[in-house]
Amino acid sequence: MAILVLGIGNSLMNDDALGVTAIEELQARYRFPAGVTVVDGGTLGLDLLPMIEGVRKLLIIDAIDMGAAPGDLFRLEGDEVPRAFANKLSVHQMGVQDLLAVAELQGHVPEKLVVWGVQPGSIEMEMRLTPAVAEAMAPLLDGVVKELAGWRVELSNRTE
């Protein structure tokens, strides 16, 4: 299966924590089958390169500045992804853009590349999501779960 679900962001900077917060929520709610790896990538950038090797499908979750209203939800695919990370919200996004470029140079581009993201409202030094981005978390997680279902990933609830 070789699927990687990768949350990116800085948990110290308001809405930049979206990706890592989403990963925490997914891991708390669901059990993932063999072949699906769920990772809090934080701000690691190129250090994540070994994780991409052998991955067929890569789903990234991150706060993305698309010039929209705070809390707006986005799904980007394929060639749209590097362009989205060109508008750098924070230092780690340069790392994601570099990560994808180096993976391509090394021949480790996943067959499927999808990003689920939310327009941030603030990236100040504060350890909580802004209200608009916090409200977007439920539809974001629903979108990620539906995306994985489309990839034939069957999740089981941790409460079962």
**pLDDT, tens digit (0-9, with 9 covering 90-100), for 25-64:** 999 999 999 999 999 887 666 677 777 888 899 999 998 8
pTM of the model: 0.87
What is the extent of the structural domain holding 16?
3-151
Backbone angles phi, psi at 111, to 5 degrees: -60, -35
Looking at residue 9, its pLDDT comes to 87
Q: What's the total number of domains in the chain?
A: 1
List, for residues 97-121, the tens digit of each pLDDT value: 777 777 777 777 788 989 999 999 8
pLDDT confidence of residue 92: 46
Cα within 13 Å of Cα(145), Cβ side: 16
Query: Is 25 part of a structural domain of the chain?
Result: yes
Q: Is 160 a member of any domain?
A: no
- Is residue 94 in a domain? yes
